[in-house]
Each structure stands twice: as C-alpha cells, then as structure tokens.
Structure 1
Amino acid sequence: MPLPAMPIETDLLLAHLNGQRQHVLGILDGLDEDALRRPVLPSGWSCLGLVRHLTEDVERFWFRCVMGGEPTAIVALSQGTEAWQVDPDVPAAVVLDRYRQEIDRANAVLAGTPLDAPPAWWPPDQLGDWRLASAREVILHVITETACHAGHLDAVRELIDGRTWLVITT
C-alpha cells in the first residue's frame, strides 16, 4: 500500500533527515568487521556501537515510541553504555540492516503524522523538564543528533583509513 502524500515542509525535513541517515551509512561503507568494531575513543565506543545507538535511542525511541505511541518498542535507553555496545556474536551487517529497518519504520510513522501533532507518548521521569512539543520538533532534533553523529563517524573514518565523505575540489 503506498504511503499518503506529505506536505512540502514534511518532504523537506525528511529529505534532510534522509541525507544525514545516508551519510551515516555511506561513511561506513567499505569498512570491514574489525574496523567497524574497533574502539576509537577512550570511552570504548565503536562505529557499530554508534549505529546501534542511532537505531535504538534515536530512530526507534523518537519515532516509534514518542511519536508513534509505542513505548514497548524500547529496547534500551542509553542511561549508561548499553545501546553503544554490540555483542561480538552479532554480525556488522545485522546491525546496519536493523538501522535501515528502523528508518523504514520511522518513515512509516512520519507518513501518517502531521508536523504539528504532539507526541503520542513521553517517557516518565527520564528527560527531566525537557520536552518536545510536536513532530516537527522531534524531526529537527533527530536531524541534529544524526548529523552530529555522522560528523563523529567522519572523523573516525578519516583516522581509520583516510577516507572522507565530502571532497571539495577547486
């Protein structure tokens, strides 16, 4: 069944969000299992751990739980490092596929949600007084968070093998 047509502003916001999502996947393209799992900071996070965080704490949490009203979809909110860790038995391809699948689920939620719609659910006592008021604010927040993490992955990829995402030539 085709998704309903979306207003121009929604299309624009989703185009920017999808650009950042593609950046995350694109900057990791070509890295082998070892490089994706390599801890790159003293905190121990890896590229794969960051993708798992984006999957669970960003895409799933903000779109399926908060906007879609499906709090049971929460696997782990990062109140420590849980979502940043990937079990060694889970192949990198599975982690990356889960991110893609969660993006598809998020887009399905957004396709049926007006930008002015308030959150359908909000986590009790987890985010203090801070609260986003609409789907528009949630999308903007997720664009910002995804772009920030895409930048982290840019720096790490360059440290791993010298590859950069954008090349500007004159």
Structure 2
Amino acid sequence: MAETQKEILVRYLQSAREALLWKLDGLGEYDVRRPITPTGTNLLGLVKHVASVELGYFVSCFGRELPVPLPWLEDDAEINADMWATPDESREDIVGLYHLSWEASGRTFDELELESEGEVPWWRPGQRTVTLQQLLVHMIAETNRHAGHADIVRETIDGAAGLRAGVSNLPDEGFDWPSYVDRVESAARTFRASDG
C-alpha cells in the first residue's frame, strides 16, 4: 500500500529529526554545549530550539496544550534562551524534550488532516492561518536547516561528518581531504585580488 502524503511528510520530518539528534552521539557534555560560531551556535542548543519550535507549531498553533512549560519562549525570557542549555538543563532533559515534542506532534498528525487549519500568532497578519501540511513542510525545512548547522558544528568539534549513522554521504575512506581542500582554496584564491 502506497504511503499517504501525510506519511511521506512525517517520514521526511523524522529523518531530519534523527539526523539532528545523531550529531550529539559520542560527545561529552562540554562539546555538546560549547559555542562554536561567533553567534554562539552549539549542538544542544540547536536541539532545544528545534524541540521548542516543533511544540509551538504542532501543538500550540492547533489550540492544544503544551505538555510542559517552555519558559525560554515567554515574552520576558532572555533573548536566545532557547538556543543554549543552562547548567541546570541536562542533555537528558533536552533530548527528552525533543522526544516529547515528537510524541505531542505525533498526536496532532494522527488526529488532524493535512488540510486542518491552525494559527501561528507570531507570523505576520494575513499569513497566520496555516494548514497542517504547510507547517509540516515548514518544519521539515527548519529541522534540516538546523541539522545542517549541526553538521558544521560537529565537524568543527571533532571532524565527524556525514548524514547519519551508517550513511556518510561522503567519499569513501581514504579520500585525500587535505589535497581536496587545497584545490578548493587554490581555486578561491584566484579571486582574492578582485575582492581587494
């Protein structure tokens, strides 16, 4: 039996979720928390953010009650409080929140049709009324965007790269990465004078 459109969308979302979460595997507490970019991007913060956003889109926007409070999303919360884990928030807390968001979202997916309407109050007027299908597509894009951030953060931390466990999506072992990077740099350098 062929998959329904909803099943396809949920499958793509789940694949992105798992790719994001996999980037935490094998790292210590410091490495999953430490800021890697000038804007503080860190692995555990990405998971916390995506879990929170998913609960907003698939639970709150359809008039359902959140399974847990999300104080970092309140109007009086510190800016970017959803993008990092405090010392009081364990990895298990954040990963547990993400799994909880999957369960709560799954209930919405099971109970509503793709055409079911919700409202995103933080979007611009005139664009706030959306369907479950629109939010599934939006959340697939959002999760993959942050999984891409996690790819780069993880590679920066310890060199680990790839799509998911058992599927690297990279050239086979033995590929000469230093030579490849040198070729890319050499090609880029030909434009250095023009940027002057």
| TM-score, shorter chain, exceeding 0.5 | yes
RMSD: 2.1
8 Å contact kept, 2:42–2:153: no
Query: What corresponds to 2:32 in structure 1?
Result: 36
Conserved in 1, the CA contact under 8 Å of 2:34 and 2:42?
yes
Q: Match of 2:123, SS?
A: coil
Structure 2 gap segments, 5+ residues each = 173-196
Q: Is the CA contact 1:65–1:72 (under 8 Å) kept in the aligned structure 2? A: no
Pairing partner for 1:59 from 43, 54, 73: 54
Number of aligned residue pairs: give it: 160
Letter in 2 for 1:131: R
Which residue in 1 is equivalent to 2:189?
none
Residues 1:23 and 2:22 aligned together: no
- The residue aligned with 1:155 is 152
Instruction: Please give the residue correspondences for 1:8-157 in structure 2 after superposition, counting only pairs within 5 Å.
Output: 8-56=4-52, 58-70=53-65, 75=70, 76-77=72-73, 80-119=79-118, 121-123=119-121, 126-129=122-125, 130-157=127-154
Identity %: 29
Higher relative contact order (CA 8 A, sep 6+): 1
Q: 1:15 to 1:83 in 2, by over 3 A?
A: same
Instruction: Supply the AA of the counterpart residue of 1:35.
Output: D
| 1:4 matched residue in structure 2 | none
Code of the aligned partner of 2:62: M
Aligned-partner SS, 1:160: helix
Structure 1 unaligned residues grouped into runs of 5+: 1-6
- Partners of 2:23 and 2:6 lie apart in 1 by 26
Which one-letter code corresponds to 2:92 in the other structure? A
